[in-house]
Structure 1
Amino acid sequence: MTNPVMNFLALALYLSAAGLLGLRLARGEVVTGSAKIGILSLGLGAVVLHATLLYTRLWQEHGLNLALTPAFSLVACVIAALYIFTSIIRPVDNLGILIMPIAGLTVLVEWLWPGRMSLPLASSASAVHIVVAILAYSLMCLAAAQSLMLLMQERHLRSKHPGGFIRALPPMQTMESVMFQMIGFGFVLLTLTLISGSFFAEAIFGQPFKLTHHMVLAELAWIVYAVLLVGRWRLGWRGRPAIHWTLGGFALLLLAYFGSKFVLEVILHR
């Protein structure tokens, strides 16, 4: 679907939600009550439009269009949806100032530079594998965004200038707890993704398993997250060490999928 009105409306809703959230956080105000409902409603409207646009662009006659820009847009849409759902049950509203503008940007980029790459779905198992992989990646992205907020909060507290939006953030202990919950759920899904991709590749994709750069980087990310969770459980890791390991694991995941696709599609034109 190349409907410019829907594209601009989705972008406008994402930016409006981020702008309203940013204004309240800049004043150090916690987002609650009707203000929170209004902001999340704008975000939900953007996600619904985003998903509607993606639906007609992703499904092709011979499979899914998972080229670089459609895949990036799909993951951003899922991340935004998870953010809205998580905001209802956990104090992660502040993540919207990072997630919403990026999701809106992917709508614009995918519209202006649509990619084409058909990924055949050999079976229903392949569809499940893709869904689990996207959810795992999305949860780890949310955890990375949370770690950036923690890093800013920690730096403000160290410099003894806890003003501005830092006043609207939950205590660091609460933010760390939420971050590790995201990583824990994401790690389980990432483990399932690697197992299914390694041992059931022929059943899922119709071809034998191959050890690619994508798989190696994803496995390295799995190791980083495993070390982080063990360090948290056995050694009580928190603060900067936890933040750095979280960002390191996500950087590897980012390279594993989008880095590989960028090299193949943009540089090598495959």
Structure 2
Amino acid sequence: MPLPLLAIVAALLYFAAAGLHLSHILRRRPRLSGAVIGMGAVALLCHAMVAWFSIFDNHAIHLGFYKILALISLVINIACLAWLVRRPLQNLLVALMPLSAAAVLISAFAPHSGTTPETLGRGLLLHIAASILSYAVLTLAAAQAALVAVQDRQLKQHHATGIVSFLPPLQLMETMLFELLWAGVVLLTIAIASGFLFLDDIFAQHLVHKTVLTLVAWVIYSTLLWGRYQLGWRSQTAVRFTLGGFALLMLAFFGSKLVLELVLQRS
């Protein structure tokens, strides 16, 4: 099947699954139905094929701004599904699936950029994999933090209706948030350490902003985890730190790639 057609099929299935799941939530049926799981699984398979064939060809690996969107959104979805085995994160799918639809369409129809040689060293592959995985898990943490913020505010205002009625208890929501943060920070630590070890110059001119922003984000996340277990930080404090760190990561990754590839025309 041609790549653009695969992307369209994936996007349509993502939109359909998200719409159906949202309708179930509004009718007080928050569990994933068989239809949502089926459409989501087929969409994820098509998504994986689009990501693979967009990034890899016979001569090069395309990790440009547009192409990497499909890969990162794929990993985010897989990470969310893995967490669903033990935690009720299915509400996040209402937002993740439409965003994945947009990412897969952009990846399939956008031009190539950011080409690298097909052969990459194991150390660099470790750095790339850890970076993508950490970004995926911390994206889920940011989405979870947004839900915690809304839930905490509504509970304080004694409005236990709307979205609050569909969510698990606030204590469990916070527990899930910090589990995601712990996993994300461990992966981010591996990404940073492997960058120092295997990149030729992690503070080179075209990498220095990405490196500094990533290190500051790591400090913010680590401070939050320390504050959680030493000072008992919760709710809005956790939300502010989580979203602040994630904003820096977005600037570090997507901001640097946007400027380098689309503005300066460098890979």
State how far apart, in whole Å, the 1-side matches of 2:149 and 2:27 are. Answer: 20
Does the alignment pair 1:160 with 2:153?
A: no
Superimposed CA distance per residue, residues 91-136 of structure 1 (whole angstroms, 9 cap, x where no aligned partner): 1110011111101110112223233221234312222221111111
Task: Provide the residue aligned with 2:100 in structure 1.
Answer: 103
Give SS of 1:60's match: coil
Task: Provide the residue aligned with 2:177 in structure 1.
Answer: 179
State how far apart, in whole Å, the 2-side matches of 1:61 and 1:79 are. Answer: 26
State how far apart, in whole Å, the 2-side matches of 1:88 and 1:38 are. Answer: 18
Shift of 1:5: 2.5
Superimposed CA distance per residue, residues 160-202 of structure 1 (whole angstroms, 9 cap, x where no aligned partner): 222233212101110110111011011111001101101232x
Cα pair 1:65 1:118 within 8 Å, conserved: yes
Shift of 1:14: 0.9
Deviates more, 1:121-130 or 1:230-239: 121-130
- After TM superposition, the structure 1 = structure 2 runs for residues 43-192 of structure 1, keeping only pairs within 5 Å, are 43-120=40-117, 121-192=119-190
Q: Which residue identity is paired with 1:239?
A: S
Q: Which residue identity is paired with 1:66?
A: L
State how far apart, in whole Å, the 2-side matches of 1:40 and 1:125 are. Answer: 36
State how far apart, in whole Å, the 2-side matches of 1:173 and 1:41 are. Answer: 31
CA RMSD of aligned residues (A): 1.7
Q: TM-score, normalised on structure 1? A: 0.91
Does the alignment pair 1:218 with 2:214?
A: yes
Deviates more, 1:7-16 or 1:156-165: 156-165
Deviates more, 1:112-121 or 1:256-265: 112-121
State how far apart, in whole Å, the 2-side matches of 1:184 and 1:149 are. Answer: 18
Q: Which residue identity is paired with 1:90?
A: R
Superimposed CA distance per residue, residues 197-247 of structure 1 (whole angstroms, 9 cap, x where no aligned partner): 01232xxxxx34435111111101100001000000101111101001000
Q: Which residue identity is paired with 1:6?
A: L
Task: Provide the residue aligned with 2:38 in structure 1.
Answer: 41
Q: TM-score, normalised on structure 2? A: 0.92
State percent identity of aligned pairs: 35
Cα pair 1:62 1:118 within 8 Å, conserved: no
Cα pair 1:58 1:65 within 8 Å, conserved: yes
Unaligned runs of 5+ in 2: none
Cα pair 2:210 2:256 within 8 Å, conserved: yes
Task: Provide the residue aligned with 2:243 in structure 1.
Answer: 247
